[in-house]
Each structure stands twice: as structure tokens, then as C-alpha cells.
Amino acid sequence: MPPEGSVVEYGRDEADWRALVDATRDFLLERARLGKVTTYTELNTTISRRTGLRPFDFEDASERAAVGHLLGRVVQEDPGRPSTGLMLSALVNYLDRNDAGPGFYVLATDLGLLPKNASADAKLAFWLTQIRSLHQLYRANT
């Protein structure tokens, strides 16, 4: 049970979120250094194993939203993003689709990185550029 007065979002307290954000960031940086991407499924398994916290249940809509919340926090808390314009969450895609989740594009728009009315082709080009740039940045810094 979380301490009295602590905020609980999506059934997890701030200590859990801190652990999840840190583990997610570390894992995505590893993927970037290797020049790879990951899936939501692999991310979920990895961060659960690394943190000891229960995995997200993708059958539950609120749990899928929680993963989006997690990835949004990783992007927003990334100290390098303001200067690079790069979103670590670009490295996460759907298992059977070669694309980012819709929340990725919403956040990119909210951050002013993607035009509000971007076409599907513009979104795809943005996402691919993000991946390529993340790989270049982090491989160069290893």
C-alpha cells in the first residue's frame, strides 16, 4: 500500500513509476546504442524483470494507456530532448506493425516536433528520422 498522501496513477505509486521510468530509459538507451528498436511486448517483459514490478496487461485498455503514460514520462524527463528534439519512445513499435503507437505522434505534436495536421506519410517519415537520429547519436557517444 502506498504511503498516505502519495499519488497513485494507473494503480502504481510514484516509487513504482520512478523505477519504471528509469528502467525504460536505460533499456531504450541500450537499444539505441545497439542500433535496434524494440516492441511493446519486449519492453514490458524487460522492465518487469528489471524492476520486479508486475508487467502491464495489454488486454486492459487502462494498462495500455499506462504504458503510453510511461513512455511520455521517459520522453519528457529526458534531459537531452530539448536540445536534440529526439524522443526515445520512437524506438518502441508494435509487434506486428512497423509503426509507433498513436500516442507517440500526439506527444510529438504537443512538443512542437510534428505539425498538427501531419499526413500519414509525414508521420512515418518523422518516426523513421527519429529512429535513425537516435541510433546515430547514441552509437556515436559510446
pLDDT score at 58? 94
Angle at 91 between CA 30 and CA 125, to 5 degrees: 140
Residue 23, classified by CB atoms within 10 Å of its CB into exposed (0-12), middle (13-18) or buried (19+), is buried
pLDDT score at 111? 96
Give the phi and the psi of residue 141 in degrees, each rounded to 5.
Answer: -100, 20
Residue 2 has pLDDT above 60, yes or no: no
Neighbours of 131 (CB within 10 A): 21
Q: Domain coordinates of the chain in residue numbers?
A: 8-140
Separation of alpha carbons 139 and 37, rounded Å = 13
Helix (H, G, I), strand (E, B) or coil at 94: coil
Min mean pLDDT across 18-22, 47-51, 98-102, 113-117 is at 98-102
- Each residue of 57-76: pLDDT tens digit? 999 999 999 999 999 999 99
Separation of alpha carbons 139 and 142, rounded Å = 6
pLDDT score at 141? 67
Separation of alpha carbons 119 and 23, rounded Å = 33
21-50: average pLDDT: 97
Separation of alpha carbons 14 and 7, rounded Å = 6
Strands (E), 42-132: 92-93
- Each residue of 36-48: pLDDT tens digit? 999 999 999 999 9
